[in-house]
Structures are given as structure tokens and as C-alpha cells.
Amino acid sequence: MKNKKFKAFLLRLLTNKKKVNFDIKKSKSVLILKYDRIGDMVVTTPIFRELKEAFPGISISVLASETNKDVIRYNPYVDKIYTNYKNRIIRDLPTLFRLRKKHFDVCIELEHSVIPHAIVRLKIINPKKIISIHKDGRYGVKGSEIKLYDYFTDKDKDSHFGQIWLDTLSFFDFKPNSTKYDFFLSQVEIEKASKFVNNFVNKIKIGINVHGSFPEKSISNRELEEICFGLKNISSKIQIIILAAPNQFFEKKDFVSKLRLEYVTCSYPTTTINDAAALIQKLDMVISPDTSIVHIAGCFDIPTISIHENNKDSYRLWSPTSSLSKTIFAKSSYGIVNYSISDVVTYANTFLQIIESKK
């Protein structure tokens, strides 16, 4: 109890801030903190577009991670990208002090919990105003009691993370027009993907991503084989493309060669997430565990079948946004253990009929 009270005291002390009288609707510069995973950055992209379209003269900077910064490399709504290393504060100090000298009008921090490393960064950057989403608090200190933050969104138990994060723009006193995700690509990446898929003219191209964010959220080789055979039984017009990053390429290529199925091939090594996005944009359907690939498919409205652990709260926050999508839930609440492969094939069949009718 004494330890908790001491931590609460430190939290209040560290987050004490002198209030600045400033109207955020007059902001000229905004910094958005999003230095986590690829999927999180994809889901954040509507903020950049909607804010820039409402305030064309505003400068938008993003503090991104080494992992997710490529998602916004070509985003026309982002003016400057800075790289943050999250758990390596000493390495981040030069960047943070450089950001402090920018005198940002507003920082938008999208953590749903009270996170010490985010607080330290905000204290160093020292913007005029800080916006965040609702926080329940920590160490007995309510989120609303943390003076570092000037505005919190209301607690939301029903919305997708995309909408929850977009609600931070309400303090700029305008209503966003769209929740659609963005993913902008270079011509080089687009041409590489086009050249690859041109090998499969008149085929319905189904991309299968087998890797989740951790091993228990991945599709096993046995499950992948069953899916491939099941899809072939419902249509002879398909081409299955197994998505593969460089560190997975030879393993997947070996798997495909052992299958001896002419309608299954391995993608080219997608060196960056932009390579993967360019290929996804050219596909007719995506099958994937719940991971960033599902959200990238949503950027291009690609029909998607996702496989999700049996966690309805997680599904609500991260559900697919493609207009044609279906989620298969595993029996396990941790990872995609014991899901129905026959359901994957059945819904793929339904999607194939819709796709074929539009071609």
C-alpha cells in the first residue's frame, strides 16, 4: 500500500504541468505519437488525412517506430516523420530535445493506459496542449487527475480503435468525413507487384498470410495445406499466393514445392511492409490471422477472411474494415488454436462467387 501511494505521488509530481491559454483550433503544428506496431499505424492514418483536410495549413509530424514508419513514408498528409525507439530512452533523447525546440502547439498521444515512457516523452517535448483518449488511471490516480493532459475523449466501450483514435480530433471542433485507412505507395513498389501478378492473368488471386504477431496467432503448415486443397475443390480459376517476407521466403518456397500444386505459389520476398501492401492491393482476396495484413487489406477494400482468437473485445477494437469481410473465431482465447478450416473454405467460396460475378 505504501509503495502504491509513493508511485501515485511520483505520478502526480511527474505529470504536473502549468496550463497554457491556447485555442487548439488555431494550431499551426501538431505532433502525433504512434511508435508501436504496423497495424496500429495503419489504423491511425485517418487522423492525418482528416486533420489536414480540415486545416490545410497545419503541419503534421509523427513520432513513429522503426517498425511502423514505412506505413506513412509516402503519406501526403504527413509533413515530417521522426523515429522513436520506445524502450531506449537514452537513444531517443536527441530526437526528443529536437522536437522540444519545435514548440509544437499540440501533441496527440493515443495510449489507452497511463504509460510512463509516453509521459516522459511528452514532458521533454513540452507542447502547449496535449490530447489523449480516455484513461482509467494508474496507482489509484484517475486519468482525469493527471494534469499533463489537457483533453481526454470520453470513455468508449463500443467502438473500433480507428474511431476511438479519430475522436481525438473532436477538440479541433470539426467532424471527420471518413474512417477509411490510407496506404500510399511508390511507383517502384506498385510496378514490382504488377509485374508479379501479370503472371496470373484471368486468375482470381488469393493471398494467404500465415504469420501473426506471435507464433500462437499463426497458421500452421498443416492448416495451410488443408486450406489450399479446400480452395482448389471449389474453383479452378484461383491462384493462391503465399505471402512471404525475406526471412520466410525460402521456408515458404520449400513448402510450396513440396505441395506440388500448380495453383499455389510463393510471393516475391516482400522486403518492406510497403512491398507487401503493393502486392495486397493487386489481390482479389486475403486470408490472414488477425494482424497488420488485415488492416492493410482494409486500406484497399480487398475482401478479407480473418482468423481471430476467441476474444470479442479484441475483435471489436481490431475488426476488419473491408466492405466484404468475415472473421472465423478460434475456440481458444489465446491465439488461433482450434478454428474451423472448413468455415474458412466455405466463406472463401461465398466470396469467390461474388468476385467472379463482378469480373
Q: Are 54 and 110 in the same domain?
A: yes
Q: Are 48 and 90 in the same domain?
A: yes
| Within a domain: 323 | yes
Q: In tens digits, what is the pLDDT along the chain, a chain of 359 residues?
A: 567 788 887 888 888 888 889 999 999 999 999 999 999 999 999 999 999 999 999 999 999 999 999 999 999 999 999 999 987 888 999 999 999 999 999 999 999 888 888 999 999 999 999 999 999 888 888 888 888 999 999 988 899 999 999 999 999 999 999 999 999 999 999 999 999 999 999 999 999 999 988 888 999 999 999 999 999 877 778 999 999 988 888 998 999 999 888 999 999 999 999 999 999 999 999 999 999 999 999 999 999 999 999 999 999 999 999 999 999 999 999 999 999 999 999 999 999 999 988 87
CATH number where 141 lies: 3.40.50.2000
| Within a domain: 193 | yes
| Residue 148 per-residue DSSP state | T
CA distance 171 to 109: 13
CA distance 357 to 340: 26
| Within a domain: 179 | no
Q: Are 27 and 144 in the same domain?
A: yes
DSSP string, 198-222: GGGTTSEEEEE----SSGGGS--HH
The label of the residue with cell 468475415 reads 326
How many structural domains comprise the chain? 2
Q: Are 155 and 252 in the same domain?
A: no
Q: Which of 172, 198, 214 is the last residue of a domain?
A: 172
Q: Are 193 and 276 in the same domain?
A: yes
pLDDT at 3: 78
Q: Are 95 and 209 in the same domain?
A: no
Q: Are 157 and 301 in the same domain?
A: no
The answer to whether 153 and 133 are in contact (CB under 8 A) is yes
Which residues in the chain belong to E strands, given as ranges?
A: 29-34, 59-65, 80-84, 106-109, 129-132, 151-152, 204-208, 238-242, 264-266, 285-289, 304-308, 325-329
The label of the residue with cell 514445392 reads 257
CA distance 154 to 138: 17
Q: What are phi and psi of 182, to 5 degrees?
A: -120, 145
CA distance 59 to 186: 22
CA distance 200 to 216: 32
Q: Are 197 and 282 in the same domain?
A: yes
Q: Domain residues for 79? A: 10-172
Residue 207 has a CB neighbour count (10 Å cut-off) of: 25
pTM reported for the whole predicted model: 0.94
| Within a domain: 251 | yes
CA distance 115 to 135: 10
| Within a domain: 177 | no
pLDDT at 2: 63
In three-state secondary structure terms, 71 is helix
pLDDT at 13: 81
Q: Are 87 and 196 in the same domain?
A: no
